[in-house]
Structure 1
Amino acid sequence: MDTRFLESLVAVADHGSMAEAARRLAITPAAVAQRIRALEAELGTTLLVRAGRTMRPTEAGAAVIERARLLLADERELKALALADTPAGELRIGAIATAVTGILPGVLARLAANYPQVEIYVQPGNSIELYDRVIGGELDAALVVEPPFAPPKTLAFALIREEPFVLAAPRAWADRDPLRLLAGEPFIRYDRNHWGGRLVDGALRRLGIRPRERFELDALDAIAVLVDRGLGVALLPDWPPPWPEGLAIARLPVPGLDISRRIGVIWPRSSRRRRLIEALIGEARRR
């Protein structure tokens, strides 16, 4: 049984479509479909069915996927063991959106130059999803917002950067008092389901401000665009560029606002890819 077929099955189950699985695996949708058909023929059962616009595992498929995740993790471990004396093999990392565009490009370029034998897979997502994938063994490490709780002792967290929160406002309002803007203008909220959004929620409570909420979004760049269009103000982390192009917004410090979004790498302390993860952390801290 070709483990690439199992990898394709897991990818379709995780992302709900062959097209997205193909994009993640850097192959064509036809190749993904062929792998799934070959796997179903070998096992003699249907593994995936279509439910509306998404692909869902059958009962048999769910059972196979559960074991497939373990087999794929074991395969990566075997490769790491075989290459234990050199920084080589596969490194599966996750990263939040602003880290994908603002931190990883330079880091990946230096890693590729210094460690040409390392194959890197990048999984974008939000911090909560990526944390769970590290816990579940699907990712070797992830660039995330520091959890608002103490992670288990089996995990390590290495701080990469701190991003102070600022008030994003239309540039025409740059000379106005930030606290008055927060209290009086429509507020575009950073989604409270995200750890960064919870920081904002707690800070507003401490400031005693109940803003006039207009929208709540989980995409920071989209929030910045809405501010640019004059739809309100927002508390955003001052993340590394690039920001969306052509924005006419001001980033104002807020008196009494003492919160920062701490971005770092989280990984299992017992990981056999420790050398690769430490190389990733070192390169990220060099930027």
Structure 2
Amino acid sequence: MLTTLSVALGFALDTIFGDPDGAWHPVCAIGALISKTEKLLRRLFPQTPRGEKIAGVVLWCIVCAVSYTVPFAILFLLRAANPWLAFAAETLFCYQIFARKCLMQAGEKVYTALSQSLAEGRKAISYYVGRDTGSLTEEGVIKAAVETIAENTTDGVIAPMFFMLIGGAPLAFLYKAVNTLDSMVGYHNEKYEHFGCFSARVDDVFNFIPARIAAVCMIAGAGMLKFDSRNARRIFKRDRFCHKSPNSAQTEAVCAGALHIQLGGSAQYFGQYVHKPTIGDDDRAIVKTDIGRAADLMTTASVFALLLGLTIRLAITFTPMYFG
């Protein structure tokens, strides 16, 4: 029951405060652990495809074990001392894991920068995407921002919430480790093709169910916001697999359909032109205000997912007591 309340309060704290500028964040610690462990493993294992694959598996095991064990041990010790101390700590952990307001603020920064100049818009979006941004048009910058918000509705909000409600903050930190590993080493390039393949595949597995929950919640959110939920469903059914990842296009397709815009398409990564299918129909030109609409859709879907998740968890908690 206290874990359920920690999830709800953590979401509320993220809504109010977001991530304070300059504050230490546990995901930064996970990122540092990945970087240092990668350097060590590259020295220990042979630089062959097989050696790099094994090193990548070892990296995943070490980072995920530490990311789960540390918060689990902290909460275990605090519960032994005082359950309310553990509750306070878990609430803080949940707050740090959620990234809804951070995503919204990222969209606002890109919108503001793009309002100043295209160069500023390119610079702002470069902090949030992996593609090359130096030659993006204004439409390309807007599209990248909308795609980031839509895709990260899963990674930054609903997937962590899903794992929190199952196993509390420790399991959510395990998920963040999986997700951070994918974002740091899960690239299809010369350096990480073999080393990061395991991390990329496991991230797909972890996000499989949450991405589909996020899409359904986003469709519901589109209806609540008076967007076109019917078209959101149509594009979701048609384009949800128009991405190399089995999960990324789930929410992007809903967003594209709800807003009647086209996302996806080819882009440059690390100087190479990568062909990607489009998502949605080109019913109208994408505009700067679509960044805010995508953020509103993300927020509404997140609240809907939270209420649904809390209801299910409370039902599971109290049903045995009622019938017992």
TM-score by length of 2: 0.26
| Higher share of residues assigned strand | 1
TM-score by length of 1: 0.28
* Higher Rg of the two aligned structures: 1
| Higher share of residues assigned helix | 2
